[in-house]
Structure 1
Amino acid sequence: MTEPPVQTVLQKPPGYRDPDAPVQKPLPKPPQRQSIPPSMYPKNKNKNNKKKTRRSCCRTCCCCFCIFILVLILLISAAGAIFYLWFDPKIPVFHFRSFQVPQFNVTIKSDGTYLDTKTVARVEVKNPNQKLGLYYGDMHVVVKVGEGEDETELGRSTVLAFSQGKRNVTSLNVETEGKKLQVADGVGPRLKSGFKNRGLAVKVDVRTRVGVKVEGWKIGMVGVNVRCGDTSLKGLQGGEMPKCAINLLKWCLVIHH
C-alpha cells in the first residue's frame, strides 16, 4: 500500500494577519474624572450645623430685644397716662401787664438814622397747677416795636432762672437799653411819629425752658417761646392786659433732685 502524502504546515511569518479573521474593535478608554473646584466641594455638615445654630441665636436675641423695647414703650406710655390723669398738668400762663419807655430818641445824621431807647416791661407768669410746681431756666427777652417792615428791636435782657410753687403768680420786671441802634432812614421818622401819638405797637418775645416739680423732684424740661403784646402803647397805658401766646418746642428730659 502506498502511504498518504505528508502535508507540511507552513509557519506564518511574524506580523502576519489573516484576512478572513474577524476584526476586533478596540476597547473604549475609561472616562476621565473632571476636577471639581474647591468651592464646589460639599460643605461639612458640622459647619452647616454651627451656622444654623448662630442664626437661631441671632434671631432669638433680636426677638428678645424687640419684645423688651415694646414692653418698655408700653410701660412709659402707661406711666405717662397715669401721671397725666393724676396730676392734670397745665402749661404756665403769661400776661403782659405794663410797658414803659423812659427814653425814645430818634437822631438823624448824615451817616444814618440812630435810636436810643430805655424800656421797662412787666410780665406776669402764673402757675395754674394745683398739684405741681414749675421751674424755669434763664429767660431771654427781646423787646420790639412797630409792625411789618417797621418792626425794630429796642433791646435785649436776661431774667435768671426761678421756681414757682402750686397756684403761684410771679411778676417779672424786664429792663432793656439800646444805644445808637441804627435803623433805616425811612423807618426812624415813622417810629418817632408812632411814639408821639402812642399808636406804636409793642411786642415782647421770651425764650426759656419750663420743667415740673413733684415733691421736691424736678422732672422734665421743655423749651418754650412766648410772644406778648402786639398791642399799642395807648392800649397798654389804658389798662389793656393782653394774654401772651406760648409755643412748645423740643422736649429735653431731665430728672434730678
Structure 2
Amino acid sequence: MAEEAKPVLQKPPGYKDPNIPIAVLPKGPQPMPVPTRKPQIPQSFIPKQKQKVDMNMNMNKNPKRRKSCWRCCCCYFCIVFLLIMVLVVLFGSLFYLWFQPKLPMFHLQSLKMARFNVSVNSDGTFLDSQTVVKFQAKNPNEKIRFRYGETKVMLSVGDDIDLGSEVIPGFVQERKNTRILKFGTQNKMVIDDDVGAKLKGRYRNKELVVFVEVRTKFGVRVGSWKMSMVSVRVNCGDVSLKKLEAGATPKCTINLLKW
C-alpha cells in the first residue's frame, strides 16, 4: 500500500530561509534625512518669565537698527527745533521793525495826605491816616494798545509803615494816551512809641519818605490780536513829601514777572 503524502507546513511570517543568499545593494549617495519639525507650543502654555526672556533676546538681535532709529529721531527733533527757533526770531524781528514797541511809562504824579494823626494814650501809640495817590500811566506807542488787569496800589512810609491799599478794575489804554489813576488809602493801626514820635516829627517837617508799589497784569493788543498778560510790579518811591509838594513827578521802575 502506498505511503500517505505528508502535509506541507506553512512558514511563519518574517521567516528567512538561511539557504537563500542575501542580496547586497550597490553603494551610492544616501538620501538626506527629513528634518523633524519642532512642535509649536501655544503661548498660553509658555511661562510668562520665559516669554519675557524670549522678547529680550529678540530685541537684542538688532542693536544697530535700534541705534540708527534713535539717531534719526534725534536728528529730526533737532531740525524741527531749529526751524521753530528761526521762525520765532524772524517773526519777532518783523514785529519789532513794523510796530517798534515801547514799554509803558509810569510816574507818581501827586500824593496828598488828607489825614495823618499820631496819638499817644494809655493803650499805646496809634496812627490814623488817609491818603490820595495819583498815578500816571503813559502809552508812547502809535500802533499798539495796552491792556491792564486788576490793579492794586500799596502805600507805605518811613520804616515800612503800611498806610493801606486799594484795587481798581482793569482797563484798556489807547495809542499815544496818558491816563491818570487815582487811588485812595486809609489805615488805623498801633505802632511803637519811638516810631510814632519819628513819624510825627518827619510829617511836620515834610521829610516823611513815601513808597508806592503798584501790582497789575499787563498785555499788548494789536488790532484783534491779544497777547497773554504777564505780571508787572511798578515801584515808585523813596521821595519825600517836600519834593512831591514842590511838583516833583518821580519816574517809576518796572519789573516784569516779579512779585
Q: Normalising by the residue count of structure 1, what TM-score does the alignment of the two structures yield?
A: 0.73
* Partner Cα separation in structure 2 for residue 229 and residue 61 of structure 1: 55
Aligned to 1:30: none
Q: How far apart are 1:62 and its partner, in Å?
A: 1.9
Q: What do residues 77-119 of structure 1 show as CA deviations (whole Å, max 9, x unaligned)?
A: 1111111121111111111111111111112244432211111
How many Å separate the matches in 2 of 1:188 and 1:89?
Answer: 47
1:46–1:247 CA distance, 2 compared to 1 (3 A): closer
Partner of 2:252: 244
Deviations 1:156-212 (A, max 9, x none): 111211111110111100111112x12222111111111122221122111112111
1:157 aligns to 2:169 (yes or no): no
Would you say 1:166 and 2:178 are equivalent positions? no
Equivalent pairs counted in the alignment come to 205
Write the letter of the residue equivalent to 1:113: T
* Equivalent position to 2:151, from 136, 139, 146: 139
* Structure 2: distance between partners of 1:73 and 1:49: 39
Q: Which amino acid aligns with 1:224?
A: V
Helix, strand or coil at the partner of 2:199: helix
**How far off is 1:56 after superposition?**
1.9
Structure-2 separation of matches of 1:107 and 1:62 = 72
Of residues 209, 212, 220, the one that matches 1:204 is 212
Identify the match of residue 128 of structure 2 among 106, 116, 139.
116
In structure 2, how many angstroms separate the alpha carbons of the residues matched to 1:116 and 1:93? 32
Q: What pairs up with 1:172-251 in 2 under 5 angstroms?
A: 172-179=181-188, 181-249=189-257
Distance 1:154 1:128 in 2: 32
Q: What is the root-mean-square deviation in Å for CA atoms of aligned residues?
A: 2.4
C-alpha distance in structure 1 between counterparts of 2:222 and 2:83, whole Å: 26
What amino acid does structure 2 have at the position aligned with 1:116? D
Equivalent in the alignment of 1:104: 116
Match of 1:4 in 2: none
Residue identity matched to 1:82: L
How far apart, CA to CA, are the structure 2 residues paired with 1:133 and 1:244?
20
Matches within 5 A, 1:31-46: none
| CA distance in structure 1 between the partners assigned to 2:149 and 2:234 by the alignment | 14
Counterpart Cα distance in 1 of 2:237 and 2:216:
17
Q: Which runs of 5+ in 2 are unaligned?
A: 1-56
